[in-house]
Amino acid sequence: MFDPIIRRMPRPQEVSRMTTAELREAFLVSSIFQPGRLNGLFTDLDRMVVAGAVPTAAALELPNCKETGRASFLERRELGAINTGGPGEVTVDGKTHPVDALGCIYIGMGAQNVSFASKDAQNPAKFFILSCPAHAKHPTTVATRDDATTVPLGSQATANERVIRQYIHENGIQSCQLVMGFTELAVGSVWNTFPPHTHNRRCEVYHYFGMEDRVLAHFMGEPTATRHLLVRGDDTVLSPSWSIHSGCGQGSYKFIWGMAGENQTFTDMDAIVPTDLR
């Protein structure tokens, strides 16, 4: 079910004075994956919804809640989901779509009945879900890991060799405003999105996975007043448009990224020179 409390983002000047516990309460989403449940919350980051579904013996239906203000959850919203678990499937208005490990499904505005299921309850799917408001309808589309547009970045020398896999974006699965994909770090690389950047036209959400029991430091805040969160696998970080979003882990890992805002241009960002960080 969806948390009845909307997650509100502090202002930058408040963040610089917050304690570790307050930072985690505001920006970190933990325990979103629970077997046999669909959990989620609304945020004030472009009205983004963050949710997780782990279907086991039975399918999990996408519920509506009062925060949509509509008759169904997707009446004026769109949704993207990436499966980080075992083989799964998603049924949209009576049609079932297979979504295997690291596959993505986009569901457009107007879909009325959506449910998430696992093909093997002993190896359940884990759907990480993002949803944002929409004003135009686009068709339900599924993409596999191999279908994604791939962008190699970084190098082994700088410990940030990685591949960006774009699913929902301008040249991929079409959407109203949602952008979504995941990044996979090479073995031996630990830094993501470094040098960092901000993009005042879009918020961003990071969901870390593939970390086993390792810990990662996620860096956030204004470039001249940085803070950090220590995160573990399956933790999610909410990133306002004014905040950097970068991480350094104990080893390689993966993370899902999703954005919503005024444009879908992936390269529309304001780069930060590392020596300017404080």
Structure tokens at 269: 């960002």
Q: Is the peptide bond before 195 cis (omega within 30 degrees of 0)?
A: yes
Residue 99 confidence (pLDDT)? 98
Q: CB-hemisphere CA count at 13 Å for 264? A: 16
CA distance 161 to 219: 18
Each domain of the chain, given as residue ranges in start order, spans 12-276
pLDDT band at 263 (very low <50, low <70, confident <90, very high): confident
Quickly state the pLDDT bin for 58 (edges 50, 70, 90).
very high
Residue 18 DSSP label: -
Residue 264 has what pLDDT?
A: 83
Instruction: Express each pLDDT in 14-27 by its tens digit.
Output: 998 999 999 999 99
Q: Are the C-beta atoms of 212 and 7 separated by less than 8 Å?
A: no
Residue 27, SS3 per DSSP = helix
Predicted local confidence at residue 172, as pLDDT? 96
How far apart, in Å, are the Cα atoms of 51 and each of 40, 41, 87, 125, 161?
Answer: 4, 6, 18, 14, 29
| Predicted pLDDT at 180 | 98
pLDDT in tens, 175-230: 999 999 999 999 999 999 999 999 988 899 999 999 999 999 999 999 999 999 99
β partners of residue 181: 166, 257
pLDDT at 4 over 90: no
The Cα 194–Cα 13 span in angstroms is 24
**pLDDT score for 105:** 98
Confidence of residue 268 (pLDDT cuts 50, 70, 90): confident
Question: Domain 12-276 is of which CATH architecture?
Answer: Sandwich (2.60)
Whole-angstrom Cα distance, residue 56 to residue 126?
A: 10
Tens of pLDDT, residues 59-117: 999 999 999 999 999 999 999 999 999 999 999 999 999 999 999 999 999 999 999 99
Three-state SS for 163? strand
Element (H, E) at 14: helix 12-15
Residue 8 DSSP symbol: P
